A and B are shown apart, each in its own frame.
Chain A
């Protein structure tokens, strides 16, 4: 083994060549350094947030005392929650439909599915604004969480194609004989769907759910255009705070959002790994 390591790196072993190592290093630096700075300065005991003045938890306290920010955060989580559930159901059904059936206009449907992924967010935002303002206004003054309806619909419309794409990729590896076997053993179409197809789709469903959740949680542009005056989400609130000044409070709020996203992603991936490894060892 040691001799192998001393050999000249192969043409594709870029992790062992210095120019490429440098590029990889720089990439990681520019990706993560700003984030680390942001997190570190959330503990900065300074109003201006330019020079390090000392360590403090003050701004986290402030964040948790900021009723508007907490409300916005609650709204964001609620929207993301509903968006995830609806997107996963819709996305999975779309994926199964496109995978299994042939019907007139299938190519058109497939193309339309990709639209929300490729259309610039700002265009989607403006479209949503016009739609909810002029064509089908969401009734105002609804009790929580129904006041978030318009934003949830907007989020679902761009999140579910991602779920459908992921689930469909997963379905490509499905062995149709499994379905036939279930039917042969006496299962109805529905039982077959739940007992055989859904378990196969599961990793895709989890990955899709994670995507939908994070997409919804940190969406700013579309939400900004869709949200009415009485509903505000976390990213929109952070943006409005920025307009006054970049205080460590904004850093603290952002850090919380990052931590929540990372933790949820980790939990999701962990669940997925568990479901794949839940075999008793012999």
Chain B
């Protein structure tokens, strides 16, 4: 990665240690002929909040269940804390899991649910009581010990599941789609609570999710998976700004993708010619690719600026554009007003449509542009990501 990537990765994560607490070595999982996980090598460091991100059926849940012990790899080895866990059944592993359905035992009181794991470990009665209360306080359910699970809301049941797993002080906490069953408002709140909870207890959290917003918001590092393969492992900012493939660029966030040919590749700049863009794309950095090879230019909607264009004015040439920017012309075809921002769909001369966002900075901003209005689209030469695959 470039220096810029390193700078973007800065996030306060002081509790992340250097040692790898989880190590997947050449992990493959086959169900008959179907390959669910394909030769995955991955290290997760102690204290991380790690996200396994991908579309459904990409193998992320299989990987998580291998850590819990509910699945065994067809090939390869899994290490937890340096120990090969191949022969360890789920009840002997130093990890605990929060299930997608929360799996709170419906016939036990909240306190008994939380105490269950401690009783299995043979922890003595007074100690159990103290630790259960502590765990319930931690997830802000103090005083709820005598309730039955069906008297709780979905969010509260999830807290019970969290307390039940954390009370055992596992080395690693596994979370399977932890926020998918909550409504939007609660999800936002739980996001920040999960991060602060993780910082408080200092345990490594590994989360499976198909929601890229969730992964970006919570995780210190993410692994994007596609069809059993690891597509990219990076910090949220790196994933978004420096995707390594069309799949990652498209899966994480929204993107405008143009196929083109690498025309010029120097140390300090590069030029890509794309059929769908009237002007060649100027980039202020070199690309490691052979001249004439097919590349893809990935441009995030919010990185495109929109300007009014007087009707009939000739298409701007590259030389006329402000230094270091790219400019193309187009016509607004669709407007989606979302309150905080507005999405515009602009038809280029090649009749290809491009998306851009515009924050509504004042209360009258949404009136600035209207349907069928000619516009200039401009973006900085460092904004697009050039993808080789």
Q: A residues touching B (Cβ–Cβ < 8 Å)?
A: 175, 177-178, 180-188, 191, 195-196, 199-200, 279-280, 282
Does A187 contact B91, Cβ atoms closer than 8 Å? yes
Q: Which residue of B lies closest to A282 (CB)?
A: B151
Within 8 A of A (CB), among B27-77: 68-70
9 contacts between A and B (CB under 8 A): A177-B100, A178-B103, A180-B103, A181-B99, A181-B103, A183-B91, A184-B96, A185-B164, A280-B148
**Residues on the B chain within 8 Å of A187, using CB:** 91, 116, 120
**Residues on the B chain within 8 Å of A191, using CB:** 120
Q: Which residue of B lies closest to A181 (CB)?
A: B103
**Residues on the B chain within 8 Å of A183, using CB:** 69, 89-91
**Is B210 interfacial (CB 8 A cutoff)?**
no
User: Given A178-B103, A183-B90, 15 more contacts at CB 8 Å?
Assistant: A177-B100, A177-B103, A181-B99, A181-B161, A181-B164, A182-B105, A182-B116, A183-B69, A184-B90, A184-B95, A184-B97, A185-B117, A186-B91, A196-B105, A199-B105
**A279 contacts which of B91, B151, B161 (Cβ < 8 Å)?**
B151
**What is the bound-complex CA distance between A191 and B103, given in angstroms?**
16
Q: Which residue of B lies closest to A186 (CB)?
A: B120
Which are the 4 A-B pairs with shortest beta-carbon distances?
A186-B120, A185-B117, A181-B103, A177-B103
**What is the bound-complex CA distance between A18 and B55, given in angstroms?**
58
- Closest Cβ–Cβ distance, residue B244 to chain A (whole Å): 34
Does B148 contact A279, Cβ atoms closer than 8 Å? yes
Q: Which residue of B lies closest to A276 (CB)?
A: B107
Q: Which residue of A lies closest to B115 (CB)?
A: A185
Does B101 contact A185, Cβ atoms closer than 8 Å? no
Does B150 contact A279, Cβ atoms closer than 8 Å? yes
Q: B residues touching A (Cβ–Cβ < 8 Å)?
A: 68-70, 89-92, 95-97, 99-101, 103, 105-107, 116-117, 120-121, 146-148, 150-151, 161, 164-165, 168
Does B70 contact A180, Cβ atoms closer than 8 Å? yes
**Residues on the A chain within 8 Å of B116, using CB:** 182, 185, 187, 195
Q: Which residue of A lies closest to B170 (CB)?
A: A184
> Tally of A-B residue pairs with Cβ under 8 A?
69
- Closest Cβ–Cβ distance, residue A189 to chain B (whole Å): 9
**What is the bound-complex CA distance between A184 and B166, given in angstroms?**
12
**Residues on the A chain within 8 Å of B91, using CB:** 183-188
Does A180 contact B107, Cβ atoms closer than 8 Å? no
Does A175 contact B101, Cβ atoms closer than 8 Å? yes
**What is the bound-complex CA distance between A162 and B151, given in angstroms?**
33
**Residues on the A chain within 8 Å of B103, using CB:** 175, 177-178, 180-181
Does A177 contact B121, Cβ atoms closer than 8 Å? no
**What is the bound-complex CA distance between A175 and B92, given in angstroms?**
22
Q: Which residue of A lies closest to B114 (CB)?
A: A185
Give the one of A178, A183, A185, A199 with max B CB within 10 A.
Answer: A185
**Residues on the A chain within 8 Å of B95, using CB:** 184
Does B148 contact A184, Cβ atoms closer than 8 Å? no
Q: Which residue of A lies closest to B68 (CB)?
A: A184
Give the one of A181, A191, A196, A279 with max B CB within 10 A.
Answer: A181
**What is the bound-complex CA distance between A186 and B96, given in angstroms?**
9
**What is the bound-complex CA distance between A200 and B95, given in angstroms?**
26
**What is the bound-complex CA distance between A199 and B106, given in angstroms?**
9
Q: Knowing A187-B91, A279-B148, A280-B146, say if A178 contacts B105 (CB, 8 Å).
A: yes
- Closest Cβ–Cβ distance, residue A195 to chain B (whole Å): 8
**Residues on the A chain within 8 Å of B107, using CB:** 199-200
**Residues on the A chain within 8 Å of B97, using CB:** 180-181, 184
**Residues on the B chain within 8 Å of A196, using CB:** 105
Does B120 contact A185, Cβ atoms closer than 8 Å? yes
Q: Which residue of A lies closest to B151 (CB)?
A: A282
- Closest Cβ–Cβ distance, residue A198 to chain B (whole Å): 10
**Residues on the A chain within 8 Å of B106, using CB:** 178, 200
- Closest Cβ–Cβ distance, residue A148 to chain B (whole Å): 36
- Closest Cβ–Cβ distance, residue B359 to chain A (whole Å): 42
- Closest Cβ–Cβ distance, residue B99 to chain A (whole Å): 4
Give the one of B92, B100, B116, B146 with max A CB within 10 A.
Answer: B116
Q: Which residue of B lies closest to A178 (CB)?
A: B103
**What is the bound-complex CA distance between A57 and B148, given in angstroms?**
50
**What is the bound-complex CA distance between A98 and B170, given in angstroms?**
35
**Residues on the A chain within 8 Å of B89, using CB:** 183
Q: Which residue of B lies closest to A183 (CB)?
A: B90
**Residues on the A chain within 8 Å of B105, using CB:** 178, 181-182, 195-196, 199
**What is the bound-complex CA distance between A175 and B121, given in angstroms?**
24
**Residues on the A chain within 8 Å of B150, using CB:** 279
Q: Which residue of B lies closest to A278 (CB)?
A: B148
Q: Which residue of A lies closest to B120 (CB)?
A: A186
**What is the bound-complex CA distance between A8 and B138, given in angstroms?**
57
Does B147 contact A186, Cβ atoms closer than 8 Å? no
**A180 contacts which of B90, B147, B165 (Cβ < 8 Å)?**
B90
**Residues on the A chain within 8 Å of B69, using CB:** 183-184
**What is the bound-complex CA distance between A60 and B116, given in angstroms?**
54
**What is the bound-complex CA distance between A196 and B150, given in angstroms?**
16
**What is the bound-complex CA distance between A96 and B95, given in angstroms?**
29
Q: Knowing A175-B101, A180-B90, A180-B103, say if A186 contacts B121 (CB, 8 Å).
A: yes
**What is the bound-complex CA distance between A196 and B112, given in angstroms?**
13
**B117 contacts which of A186, A188, A280 (Cβ < 8 Å)?**
A186
- Closest Cβ–Cβ distance, residue B248 to chain A (whole Å): 30
**What is the bound-complex CA distance between A184 and B148, given in angstroms?**
21
Does B151 contact A180, Cβ atoms closer than 8 Å? no
- Closest Cβ–Cβ distance, residue B125 to chain A (whole Å): 17
**What is the bound-complex CA distance between A260 and B252, given in angstroms?**
68
**What is the bound-complex CA distance between A282 and B109, given in angstroms?**
13
